[in-house]
Chains A and B, each alone.
Chain A
Amino acid sequence: MSSSTQNPAYESTEVGRIDSSLRSTGLVFGISGALWLVFAGITGLLTYLQIVVPTLFEWIPFLTFGRLKVVAVNALTHGWATNVGFLLIIWIMSRLSERAPDFDIRRYLLAPAGIVYNILVTYGILAIFWGEATPYFLLEIPSKILGACALSYILITIWTILDYFRRKRQTPYVSQYFILGAVFWLAWIFSISQLILGNANITGVIQAVAASWLAHAYIWLWLVPIGCAVAYYLLPKVLGLPVRNYYLAFFSFWCLAFIGPWGGPAELVGSPVPIWIQKLGVVSGLLLSIPVISISLNLWQTCFHPTARAKLDSLWKSPTGRFILTGVVVFPFFGLLAAFDALPFHKQDMQFTYWQEGIFYLGIYGFYSMIAAGGIYFVLPRLFGREWKSSSLIHTHFIYSVVGFLLVAIGFFWGGLAQAEAYANLEKSYVDISFITWMPILMAVVGFFSLVIGQIAFLINVMRISCACPLESPSAAEGPTLLTQELEERSNA
């Protein structure tokens, strides 16, 4: 852990003190998040490679499709998404409270919470390899381990709420709302989930109802609010312009707060659960389009409004701006696809197909990971007081990620459509369907391969900035890396 002062002038300011007090937190969450991301990418690649080549791992029990897929999804969500989410919300909340603590409790509370959390997730992933997985999407880590993770969630929730009450400025900023909502909901849903799924008296489809709820809440009440908080905080910062419509932002938050928690059973439309639960799922699923549209409108207007056009170039040059912009552009596509997925006439064809995977991966890789990576590109240099070592690695990360998530999403959507069409044709057997979906899944596999390349570039960069490499130019700590800078320097030389 590096505690040497790289830039005394910066650290003497209030902002600098806040940032440097979060250094250990950033180290834990940043590095473990990036490691999980690469792990998830590789396991995801190997998972879908097995659809293309079914005989690949048949002599290695723990690498078979059923286990590896679960590992990939859980490493991606509980590993990468949650870790990096913690870092971003802690940092944004501290920055917005604008007050460095006198006694730095963060070092003793947050980093240990992160270490414990990552040990638990590692243990959970190993348990899945061992064959202890539960069958519920995003809750596959055995409930005892996930229940212990809830302790970490609660610690971080308490910290964030305390931070909020410590704030200097009384008027809240919308990112604070999204963050408070996210931490509160996450701690709540995971505590409740373990109460319901861990209760031996509750058997049968009621478990599936609860589990669908939790999976939905994990995406819509945890990942989406974090993405929004980061975008609402960093976009204006990079652009140098305020959010286009301040009140619309609060409106979207409350829409999400009141509609989001009802949505889970959309996944169970058509399943053997009471019909009123299915209808509730459809209605709340469709209503989700309201917050999706209002959030997208606001963020798109912030970026693409005529008055912002002049600054769009600076947004594109900054790695933070470029990644977040991509996430913001993807968000309405992901959100509306997910919302309208609840429509029964659409659902009846698409329910058990790759279409569902497409929506999930578009959301995680296209929306969330892009915004989160953008956030990391902004946060880590400030925490460590160093500059990113290589802008070409950032370039690589960006290009391969975009190509990757587009190929993965399009591959799965294509596969889902092909599957649904073949399923409607009564003469096609499951073997025929697996031949028909071979090409789309190959496309997704190529996409995963591309993602992995980008992720490895990201990991190298994160490792190099976190570990105590000698600082090349101390002045670089002042401003953000610009993707054009290095190129210009090269051309000058």
Chain B
Amino acid sequence: MISRSWIFFLLLFATVALPWGIVIYKAEEQLLAIEPASENQEVYFKDRAGEEYASPAEYIASVEENGGDVTKAKIDATNPIPEWETKGDARSKEYKGFRLALRNVEGAPLFPRFEGGSVLRGKRIYEANGCVQCHTQQVRRKDFGNDAAREVGQRPSVARDYIFDSPALLGRMRIGPDLSDVGSRIDETSLHKHIFRPHLTSAMPAYPHFYKTRKIRGDQSAQALAFEVGEYGAAEEGYEVIPKASAKDLVSYLSSLRQDHQFHNAKYFTPKQSDAEDSKDSGETGVLARGKELYNTQGACVTCHQANGQGLLTAKFPPLVNSEWVTGSEEVVTRIVLNGMQGPLKIGDVEYGAVPMVPTIWKDWPDEDIAAVISYIRNEWGNQAPEVSADTVKRIRAEVGTRGPWTAEELEAYKK
């Protein structure tokens, strides 16, 4: 019988199951997806055999070349599975289909770094001693509280900073300072001294049991803390303070805490010196800054032409630096951006264009944005060419309508 009691229990179930189901599921979907950082990481693709491609289009082209199933390749290419979502559990079978992967741009630091060894052991010590009870590890955004004014960190924290953390030590109490960026502020020796005997400079309890005070026999140990005699009332004459393994681990964990990499959704509170110069170079209009932002949007220009504008030689993506196609007539470059371009074309001695450029996410961008991004590539990396106005883009867009990619011959006509 469906009595009132059963309806009651059903309702009770719904009250907890709904929020849990909806919110945790949605949040997980959103938070576990890593998007590449704008400057230091690039996206590439892998097929079943582990072969690397710079874009889905290149993958389709290669399948076509080898006489494979193009239809299937096209279906795969529309929805590459991010590789990091297929790993994680060592026991589960690794996904081998067409997938998206991340790699470091050479020379740039990966952020956040996956840390192991001493840093992870130090994190365990941090958890065990309840450091999280007094120290947060999160910098709040500029319009929320005064973290920016107090210089708690260099920039607001974002979910991505914690992607490798289990547990994530966000904290809920700030009796002591925030530690999310402590690695950039304080050097290791000062950290050791502070943990050993913090009383002169703070209200933190001391953790002397991480250290060993012993009589110097012969020469002083190289590992001993560099106390001056009597400093902090710590090292008496003839004694030295040696950090135990736990202290070393803890300090290497603390030193690894840095949120110093800028993301598109987490800019520095106070722009760094070099950034300030950059923006001075690009004029006061802000158009170039906007263009830079658009260029670096995930899935836009940066995906193939890279943040340095050099393209990818291996994948035959042409460079934008020093290219007459970019810095030449605005008629040409605007047409390429609006409709795409198809090879073959030669820049220097290299032949490009095996993979056609097809407008994707920028197809629906407004004229102002298209103009901004074109102006940006015409004035970045040493390129020097007049900016393009939104009116020009509007005129050309009306002229060309929707059509397929241009070929080099077709565009010759627009070169003045």
Q: Mark B193-210, 1 if CB is under 8 A from A, else 0.
A: 000000101111111110
- The reply to whether the CB of B105 lies closer than 8 angstroms to some CB of chain A is no
Q: In the assembled complex, how far is the CB of residue B200 from the closest CB belonging to chain A, in whole angstroms?
A: 10
Residue in contact with B206 in the complex, picked from A58, A66, A213, A426, CB distance below 8 Å: A58
Q: Quick one: closest B residue to A184, CB to CB?
A: B12
**A205 pairs with B11, CB closer than 8 A:** no
| B203/A434 in contact, CB under 8 A | yes
Q: Does B278 contact A (CB under 8 A)?
A: no
| B267 → chain A closest CB, angstroms | 14
* Cα–Cα, bound, A209→B150 (Å): 26
- B20–A137 touching, CB < 8 Å: no
8 A Cβ contacts from A44-96 to B: 50-51, 54-59, 61, 64-67, 69-70
- Tell me whether A61 and B15 are in contact in the complex, defined as CB-CB below 8 angstroms, given that A132-B128, A135-B169, A208-B168 are known contacts: no
Docked CA distance A202–B204 (Å)? 33
Known: A204-B164, A272-B138. A54 touches B16 (CB 8 A): no
> How long is the Cα–Cα vector from A201 to B202 in the complex, in angstroms?
38
Interfacial chain A residues near B361, Cβ < 8 Å: none
Q: How far is the CA of A205 from the CA of B137 in the complex (A)?
A: 11
Q: In the complex, A69→B145 CA distance in Å?
A: 26
Task: Report the minimal beta-carbon distance from A152 to chain B, rounded to whole angstroms.
Answer: 19
Whether B203 pairs with A189 at a CB distance below 8 angstroms is: no
Is A163 at the interface (CB under 8 A from chain B)?
no
| Selected contact of A206 from candidates B20, B27, B128, CB within 8 Å | B27
Residues from chain B with Cβ under 8 Å of A268 in the complex: 170
Question: B130–A67 contact, CB under 8 A?
Answer: yes
| Main secondary structure on A side of the interface with B | helix
Q: A277-B27, A280-B23 are in contact. Are A58 and B207 (CB under 8 A)?
A: yes
B173 and A352 contact, CB distance less than 8 A: yes
Let me know if A289 is at the binding interface, CB within 8 A: no
Measured CB to CB, the nearest residue on chain B to A260 is B15
Contact A61 B209 (CB under 8 A): yes
Least Cβ–Cβ distance between A186 and chain B, in angstroms: 10
Q: Does A246 touch B at the CB level, under 8 Å?
A: no
Establish whether residues B138 and A348, one from each chain, have CB atoms under 8 Å apart when the complex forms.
no
Interface membership of A164, Cβ < 8 A: yes
Nearest A residue to B197 via CB reads A58
Report Cα–Cα, A164/B171, bound state, in Å: 41
A residues within 8 A CB of B170?
205, 208, 268, 271-272
Say yes or no: A273 contacts B168, CB within 8 Å.
Answer: no
* Given A135-B167, A348-B144, A274 and B133 contact (CB-CB distance below 8 Å): no
Q: Does B79 contact A (CB under 8 A)?
A: no
Contact across chains for A431 and B27 when beta carbons are under 8 A apart: no
Assess whether A270 is interfacial by the CB under 8 Å rule: yes
Residue of A nearest to B4 (CB): A172
By the criterion CB–CB under 8 Å, are A203 and B173 in contact? Answer: no
> Does A180 interact with chain B (Cβ within 8 Å)?
yes
User: A262 vs B14: C-alpha distance in the bound complex, in angstroms?
Assistant: 12
| Interface bin, chain A | 35 or more
Set B24, B146, B166: member contacting A424, Cβ < 8 A: B146
Which of A202, A349, A356 is the one whose CB lies under 8 Å from B173? A356
The reply on A455 being an interface residue by CB < 8 A is: no
Name the A residues within 8 Å of B175 (CB-CB): 51, 430, 434
Contact A131 B206 (CB under 8 A): no
Q: Confirm or deny: B229 has a beta carbon within 8 angstroms of a beta carbon on chain A.
A: no
Asked if A272 and B161 sit within 8 Å, CB to CB, the answer is yes
Contact with A along B5-30 (1 / 0, CB 8 A): 10011011101101110011001101
Nearest A residue to B18, CB-CB: A261
A327 interface contact, C-beta 8 A: no
Which A residues are in CB contact (< 8 Å) with B145? 270, 348-349, 351
Task: Identify the closest chain B residue to A52 (Cβ).
Answer: B203
From the candidates B5, B30, B125, B168, name the one contacting A274 in the complex (CB within 8 A).
B30
What secondary structure prevails in chain B residues at the interface with A?
A: loop
Most buried by B among A59, A270, A424: A270
- In the complex, the answer to whether B164 meets A257 with C-beta atoms within 8 Å is no
| Beta-carbon nearest neighbor of A69 in chain B | B133
Is A188 interfacial (CB 8 A cutoff)? yes
Q: Which residues of B contact A271 (CB under 8 A)?
A: 138, 140, 157, 170
- Interface residues in B70-102 by Cβ distance below 8 A to A read 88-89
Interface residues on B, range: 35 or more
Residue B415 at the A interface, CB < 8 A? no
B12 contacts A261, C-beta separation under 8 Å: no
B247 beta carbon closer than 8 Å to chain A: no
Complex Cα gap A188–B15 (Å):
11
A430 touches B177 (CB 8 A): yes
Cross-chain contact A55 with B199 (CB below 8 angstroms): yes
Alpha-carbon gap, A477 to B24, bound state (A): 51
Q: Which residues of A contact B207 (CB under 8 A)?
A: 58, 61, 64
Q: Are B203 and A54 in contact (CB under 8 A)?
A: yes
Q: Which residues of A contact B159 (CB under 8 A)?
A: 204-205, 272-274
Q: What's the Cα separation between A374 and B134 when bound, in Å? A: 35
**Nearest neighbor of A47 in chain B, beta-carbon distance:** B133
Asked whether A426 and B172 contact (CB < 8 A) given A57-B205, A209-B27, the answer is no
Does A482 touch B at the CB level, under 8 Å? no
The one of B18, B89, B164, B203 that contacts A430, using a Cβ cutoff of 8 Å = B203
**Chain B residues in 8 Å Cβ range of A203:** 162-166, 168
The A-contacting residues of B in range 1-55, CB under 8 angstroms, are: 5, 8-9, 11-13, 15-16, 18-20, 23-24, 27-28, 30-32
Chain A residues close to B by CB (< 8 Å): 50-51, 54-59, 61, 64-67, 69-70, 130-137, 161, 164-165, 177, 180-181, 184-185, 188-189, 192, 196-197, 200-210, 213, 217, 221, 254, 257-258, 260-262, 265, 267-274, 277, 280, 344, 348-349, 351-353, 356-357, 423-424, 426, 430-431, 434-435
Pairs across A and B, CB under 8 Å, 7 listed: A181-B12, A204-B163, A207-B167, A260-B15, A352-B173, A423-B146, A430-B177
- Seen from chain B, the residues whose Cβ lies within 8 Å of a Cβ on chain A are 5, 8-9, 11-13, 15-16, 18-20, 23-24, 27-28, 30-32, 88-89, 125, 127-134, 136, 138, 140-141, 144-146, 149-150, 156-159, 161-177, 199, 201-209
Known interface pairs A272-B156, A272-B162, A434-B202; 20 further A-B residue pairs with C-beta atoms within 8 A, sorted by A's residue number: A54-B204, A58-B206, A58-B208, A61-B209, A64-B205, A65-B130, A66-B134, A130-B128, A135-B130, A184-B9, A192-B20, A200-B89, A200-B166, A203-B162, A270-B141, A272-B159, A348-B140, A352-B172, A356-B172, A434-B175
Please name the 6 residue pairs, one residue from A and one from B, whose CB atoms are nearest each other, closest first: A66-B130, A131-B128, A352-B174, A434-B203, A348-B145, A272-B157
